[in-house]
Structure 1
Amino acid sequence: MNIIVVGLSHKTASVDIREKVAFAPTNMEKPLKALVDIPDITEAIIVSTCNRVEIYVTTHDIAGGIARVKRFLADYHNLSLENLDPHLYAHHGEEAIRHVFRVASSLDSMVVGEPQILGQIKTSYGYAAEFKSSGIILNRFLHKAFSVAKRVRTETKIASSAVSVAFAAVELSRKIFDELNDKTVMLIGAGEMCELAAKHFLNNGVRGVMVTNRTFERAERLADEFGGRAVKFEDLFDYLHKADIILSSTGAPHCIIGPKDLEEVMRRRKQKPMFFIDIAVPRDIDPKVNDVENVYLYTVDDLQEVVQANLAQRAEEAKKAEDIVNQEIGQFFKWLSSLEVTPTIVALRAKFDEIRRAELEKTLSGWKDLPPDGQKRLEGLTNAIMNKLLHPPTSLLKKAGQGGRTDLYIDALRALFELQTEDEGQQELGELEE
């Protein structure tokens, strides 16, 4: 049984291609059931996010399975496979395992270390479990991927530093104030960047948010979203002293806050520090405000420097994460290989034991003067002979299974001894999963 991965991502397809093959989370039952109805596809999971669409399946036929999943992806979305295929990638065996472990650990994400992908894969797995399209192999596979991602988060600092301008603003605020739970943020402007920054600040425990904008209705909408207070733009300086952190991003053609504006503000604050973050281009805040005592100003360029330094740090941490992935691949691949080896060993022993018992019974049935302990001694003798005969092939199979090189030995043993492993294999798989 092989694991294969077929999909596309931000690395291979533009957003207009990705959105055409996306699966709606409210309608996962239909495609999952369609997948496991495909000949020789036994288990299936669909991962569909804004940056990737991937299908994980198990199959005995690698090439055929890949071709059938690609065809399914095109047909399900009424697309031409000829046009879709250049954007698709396919992995099997160890490479499939590596790929999914890396995706779950956010090593394949647009922003390395972002935490969302793990939750998205867990959600996808939840659908597969709910609609019974995953089984023993993909269940174990996905749980292993989750544990690998947890190791990466725990043992590296891949997600510990800000790699967006909005979050870098929060990181710099912490350096100035240490704690944010008694601080108030004022947003000057109600654009996307201000909104994102406000979410980060609230997630990091700020006490409150004020929003001002030239269009007061927009300020009210954003303030309502965050449980904050809207301030009319013309009243900005009446409220500025109440803010500890000011994030400004307007479309003004000139500076709206200068050093003289802050003299009265700082007097009313009794010289408590203020942190200004100017992410507007052109700038909203005169650089000279940095000369005012207890006033700290950072521009978008300062934030970009923080982001670039943190990206470099994440790249170093990603190397450690890759080592963890490599360690875990070997462990899981050994387990996967054992799914072929174990039923064959069980069937081989059963075959030998069946022959042993039949011949022993034939011998005992005609033995008139057998000593009282004779049957027990003959049982022990035949068992010992069988075990010694089976030891070399059993050891060889187990060793081959650890390296993933089992097909040659398994096929030979099944042919030589006419082994039937389906029933025994299913029983053993269940025991292994438990």
Structure 2
Amino acid sequence: MSRDAIVLLGVNHKTTPLAVREKLALSAGYDEPLQALGQLEELREYYLLSTCNRVEVLFTCRDVDRAQQRVLDLMFGRAITASELEQYVYRHVNVDAVEHLFLVAASLDSMIVGEAQILGQLKEAYRHATKVGSSGFILNKLLHKSFSVAKRVRTETRIGAHAVSISYAAVELARKIFGELAGKKVLLVGAGEMAELAAEHLVRQGVAEVVVANRTLQRAVNLARCYNGRAVSLEELLDQLQQVDIIISSTGASGLILQKEDVRPVMRDRRNRPLFFIDIAVPRDLDPAINDLDNVFLYDIDDLHNVVEMNKSERDKEAVKAQRIIDEEKLKFGKWLANMESTPTIVQLRAMVEHQVRAEVEKTMGRFDTMDGQQRQGLEKMVAAITGKVVFPALHYLKTDRHCTGLPERIKAIRELYLLDTASSDREES
């Protein structure tokens, strides 16, 4: 009478080198692998997640060993060797699988703890699973619970409040200087990857405009188009400083492109409105002495690294709180699974007792279908009440945690005590 097992197999950035993960990535999307998993008769329900940092298969089955091997052969064995498969693929069953999924959803298993992107990826993968009908009663419950666990972690902790990437640290500093960023103008000098990421974060914060200055104008035009901004030449840099509020520089030039004396007259023209410089370039683009000017704030890559390291420490503290939440939710889901395991026995016990009570009542009172409506209604209530009182001690025994006796042993005891397996066999023979 045992329930289906929950199994999770996968690889991620913690266990597996990039060269191996690349072989396992689902470049063609979810449809084809989900269809292939659907051909495995050992699986009851299944769900597939693929991101840059992980590939995971979550499924339910009866025969864990056989189902695991079939999934390993299909999803991993064709791309990597047997020794790599043994070395890199992690395997979690039942509550361990539940805990791992909750850790992933809450971003405690991510490369950057607290990043929000993984939850959206989980939901997108779930949409594909529901589209093909591969996620059923158990996985639907589990996946929705993982979404709510992630939301609870976000609500009850500050795990996502501290910037742990260089690009987002720049945005966090800008907010400390300006408060709200809505209405501020941003100038990208050069087109480095980190500058682009910082610009993306700033756009999400509601900045009014993004201007791109680059040595190659076409590159500036292409990048500006991404943010509905405008492009200018590098020669227009000083003119633009009078109009913008935040400057992110990453040109890759061999020397400084902006000196303190270049910025001093700009500040007079700006009437000392604050100007925030972020120098992400190595070697530096901006003269460190710029920071000496009133209402001018200059941060370089080392400053940003220091912010990131401090924030990582803060996130680690919040991760402890998040782990406690996950432990709580794992216990709750474990109880739900345990109740599922005892449900067939409970249903069968109720049915058997009700059958016997009904039979005894009919011996005394006659068949129910010969009675008038009021009599029948009264006797039905009596049968239900007697059934409930008779089965209550057994249900209480099944549902109450007992450290000395596990649920499988308690189920076995009830089935033997009430002769459920014998009663079932007798009914089948009759």
- TM-score, length basis structure 1: 0.87
What is the alpha-carbon distance in structure 2 between the residues aligned to residue 338 and residue 155 of structure 1? 28
- Look up the match of 1:259: 260
**Alpha-carbon distance, 1:395 to partner:** 2.0
Quote the residue 1:166 is aligned against. 167
Q: How does 1:31-430 map to 2 (within 5 A)?
A: 31-75=33-77, 77-358=78-359, 361=362, 390-399=391-400, 405-411=406-412, 413-414=414-415, 416-418=419-421
Would you say the 8 A contact 2:23–2:79 is kept in 1? no
Structure 1 CA distance, aligned partners of 2:316 and 2:159?
8
2:210–2:224 contact (8 Å) kept in structure 1: yes
Instruction: Indicate how the Cα distance of structure 1 residues 165 and 200 shifts in structure 2: closer, same or farther if over 3 A, else same.
Output: same
Identical amino acids, percent of aligned pairs:
47
Q: Distance in 2 between matches of 1:21 and 1:354?
A: 55
Which residue identity is paired with 2:14?
A: K
Shift of 1:83: 2.7
Q: Equivalents in 1 of 2:106, 2:379: separation in Å?
A: 57
Measured after TM superposition, the shift of residue 149 of structure 1 is: 0.5
Amino acid at match of 1:317: E
Following superposition, the deviation at residue 240 of structure 1 comes to 2.3
Question: Which of 14, 19, 35 in structure 2 is aligned with 1:16?
Answer: 19
1:206-225 alpha-carbon deviations (Å, 9 max, x no partner): 11111112222211211122
Structure 1: stretches of 5+ with no match in the other structure: 366-373, 422-434
- On the 8 A contact 2:357/2:386 being kept in 1, the answer is no
Q: What is the distance in 2 between the residues matched to 1:70 and 1:225? A: 41
Q: Once the 2 structures are TM-superposed, how far is the Cα of residue 130 of structure 1 from its aligned partner?
A: 1.0
- Aligned mate of 1:6, from 5, 9, 30: 9
User: What are the ranges of 5 or more consecutive residues in structure 2 without an aligned counterpart?
Assistant: 367-374, 425-430
Contact 2:354-2:383 within 8 A present in 1 as well: no
What whole-Å deviation, never above 9, does each CA across 1:279-319 have from its counterpart, x for those lacking one? 11211111111222221111111111111111111111111
Letter in 2 for 1:44: Y
Runs of 4+ residues deviating >6 angstroms: 374-386, 401-404
Distance 1:419 1:226, change over 3 A: farther
Task: Summarize deviations over 1:238-294 as a string: whole Å, max 9, x none.
Answer: 322222111111222221111111122122222222111111121111111122222
Task: Return the letter of the residue paired with 1:115.
Answer: A
SS at match of 2:242: helix
After superposition, the Cα gap between the structure-2 partners of 1:120 and 1:418, relative to the gap in structure 1 and judged at 3 Å, is: same
Asked if the contact 1:70/1:85 (under 8 Å) is kept, the reply is no
| Offset, 1:88 | 0.5
Alignment partners' CA distance in 1, 2:414 and 2:320: 42
Is residue 24–residue 79 contact of structure 2 (8 Å, CA) maintained in 1?
A: no
Contact preservation (8 Å) 1:185, 1:244: yes
CA-to-partner distance for each residue in 1:311-344, whole Å, 9 max, x for gaps?
Answer: 1111111111111111111111111111121221
Match of 1:370 in 2: none
> 2-side partners of 1:194 and 1:420: how far apart?
73
**Contact 1:413 1:419 (8 Å CA) reproduced:** no
Give the counterpart letter for 1:140 in structure 2. Answer: K
SS in 2 for 1:242: coil
Q: Separation in 1 of the partners of 2:141 and 2:403?
A: 17
Cα-Cα RMSD: 2.9
What is the count of residue pairs matched by the alignment? 412
Q: Give the SS at the match of 1:186.
A: strand
Deviates more, 1:412-421 or 1:273-282: 412-421
The residue matched to 2:133 in structure 1 has which SS? coil
Following superposition, the deviation at residue 384 of structure 1 comes to 7.9
Q: Which amino acid aligns with 1:54?
A: E
Q: 1:351 to 1:29 in 2, by over 3 A?
A: farther
After superposition, give the CA deviation of every residue in 1:377-422 in whole Å (9 maximum; x if it has no partner).
999999887666544333222225999932233345556422799x
* TM-score after normalising by structure 2: 0.87
2:37 maps to amino acid: L
How far is the alpha carbon of 1:168 from its aligned partner? 1.0
**For the Cα contact (< 8 Å) 1:334–1:403, is it kept in 2?**
no
Change (3 A) 1:187 1:46: same
Once residues 349 and 50 of structure 2 are traced to their aligned partners in structure 1, the CA distance between those partners, rounded to angstroms, is 43
Given residue 65 of structure 2, which amino acid in structure 1 is its aligned partner?
A
Which moved further from structure 2: 379-388 or 390-399?
379-388
Counterparts of 1:206 and 1:376, CA distance in 2: 70
Q: Distance in 1 between matches of 2:404 and 2:128?
A: 33
Match of 1:432 in 2: none
- Which amino acid in the other structure matches residue 44 of structure 2? T
SS at match of 1:418: helix
Cα distance in 1 for partners of 2:36, 2:413 equals 35
